[in-house]
Amino acid sequence: MAKIELNGLAHSYMPHIQEPQDFALKELNHVWEDGGAYALLGPSGCGKTTLLNIISGLLKPTHGEILFDGEAVTNKATEDRNIAQVFQFPVVYDTMTVYDNLAFPLRNRGVGASEVDGRVREIAELLEMSDSLKRKASGLTADAKQKISLGRGLVRADVSAILFDEPLTVIDPHLKWQLRSQLKHLHKRFNYTMVYVTHDQTEALTFADKVVVMYDGAVVQMGTPEELFERPKHTFVGYFIGSPGMNVVPCHVDGKQAMVADHAFAMEQGLSNIPEGASLEVGIRPEFLSLSREGSGPTVSIQKVEDLGRFKVASVRLEDHEFKVMVNEEDEVPTDGARLVVDPTHVNLYANSHLVEEA
Ligand code: ADP
Ligand code: MG
């Protein structure tokens, strides 16, 4: 396994680069620690596959370099990088048996027959495919073929890293959950460096110790699931993570308060370092807002209430701004005279979409 460093990496698919938007991947400096389990999370088209293919060597970056354990591999071919990659759709040899498919990456590297046999059986066990080892891959379902692809990615013990590009897309939801737990278990056992690409926050948050969030060709935050929830560094992370996402509303600052329309939201952080002339917003998660008939909070009008089982989501209006408020199932939503109660420790301030942090 290896530590992977990306230095000044950037990529454009265009032959003549004219403007920053021509880069599918904007300049990126990033370190994947040896043995880490990472999820790379972001919406479709944000550059996840591009980044993965650059790490594996399928794509040569326009700028920058890639180091494995301190050694530059930027000009090395995929075969020489010692990387296993699992793609979104199955890559299997239809004419071979399941056994031979799983054995292929090992035999290809000259691993001896008894070691091959041990690894193949171990991986087959893990994927619950021990009974189908003798079957030809051609007769199998898409699910089963994708499991073989996963197995082919996991079978070698000597790889620098395993890269997964949305590997569970074609797998049914139940099996998905099961395979995700298996991957996590494998990571704990063998300490592989794993990068798992997904656009699904649940998948990312359950698989990874660290989640790297990408947006529009850039990494906007790397953090634990808790950090991404508590302190989103970019408004995009606030929207994208959480359900419903963070409320983001334009504001200005007056002393120790953020002013939304003419109403003050007390804040405990992020006021001393605001860039001049920046466009400001407050971000507050629905979990940290509540409604009450008492207190000094601003009066809001209730627009609608959705019942989501364990809790309700109230959409409320404060002049021109809408907020979503999470309400416990057993609590009542006041129909009139509702006031918005804000937890000041969880108010984040954003300048030009980036979190304002103390200097
Ligand atoms: P993701 O995997 O996050 O969905 P991709 O890395 O596939 O995103 O794509 C990032 C951007 O690069 C998108 O705008 C996409 O259209 C563009 N892109 C991807 N592959 C190619 C290619 N081979 N040629 C030109 N543009 C591409
Ligand atoms: Mg992709």
Q: Which CATH superfamily is domain 4-235 in?
A: P-loop containing nucleotide triphosphate hydrolases (3.40.50.300)
Ligand sitting nearest the alpha carbon of 43: 1
Identify the pLDDT of residue 179: 85
45 pocket-lining for ligand 1 (C-beta < 6 Å): yes
Label residue 339 exposed, middle or buried (CB < 10 Å: 0-12, 13-18, 19+): middle
49 pocket-lining for ligand 1 (C-beta < 6 Å): yes
Percent share of the chain, pLDDT over 90: 77
Q: Which atom of ligand 1 is nearest to the CA of 217?
A: 10
User: What's the whole-model pTM score?
Assistant: 0.90
CA distances from 240 to 41, 177, 204 (A): 9, 21, 12
C-alpha closest to that of 244 among 322, 329, 313: 313
Under a CB-based contact definition with an 8 Å cutoff, are residues 161 and 32 in contact? yes
3-class DSSP state of 341: strand
**pLDDT tens for residues 217-227?**
999 999 999 99
Amino acid, res. 88: Q
**pLDDT tens for residues 252-306?**
998 888 999 889 998 876 677 888 899 999 999 999 999 999 988 999 999 999 9
**pLDDT tens for residues 162-216?**
999 999 888 888 888 888 888 888 888 888 899 999 999 988 988 899 999 999 9
Q: Per the structure block, which two tokens stand in for 154?
A: 């996991």
13 pocket-lining for ligand 1 (C-beta < 6 Å): yes
**pLDDT tens for residues 109-124?**
999 999 999 999 999 9
Which residue out of 12, 22, 26, 49 has the highest number of ligand 1 atoms within 8 Å of its CB and is therefore the one to mutate?
A: 49
15 pocket-lining for ligand 1 (C-beta < 6 Å): no
Q: Which CATH number fits domain 247-355: 3.60.20.10, 2.40.50.140, 3.65.10.10, 3.30.930.10?
A: 2.40.50.140
Q: Which residues in the chain are classed under CATH 2.40.50.140?
A: 247-355
Biggest alpha carbon distance in the chain? 76
11 pocket-lining for ligand 1 (C-beta < 6 Å): no
Lowest pLDDT segment from 29-33, 62-66, 335-339: 335-339
Alpha-carbon distance of 189 to 205, in angstroms, equals: 19
Residue 354: CB atoms within 10 A of its CB come to 14
Cα 218 to averaged position of ligand 1 atoms, centre (Å):
13
Give the up-direction half-sphere exposure of residue 154: CA atoms within 13 A in the CB hemisphere.
27
Alpha-carbon distance of 144 to 185, in angstroms, equals: 20
Identify the pLDDT of residue 327: 96
Identify the pLDDT of residue 184: 86
In sequence order, the β-bridge partners of residue 218 are: 215
Cα 166 to averaged position of ligand 1 atoms, centre (Å):
14
Average pLDDT, the chain: 93
Cα 244 to averaged position of ligand 2 atoms, centre (Å):
24
The reply to whether omega before 244 is within 30° of 0 (cis) is: yes
C-alpha closest to that of 237 among 224, 252, 255, 256: 224
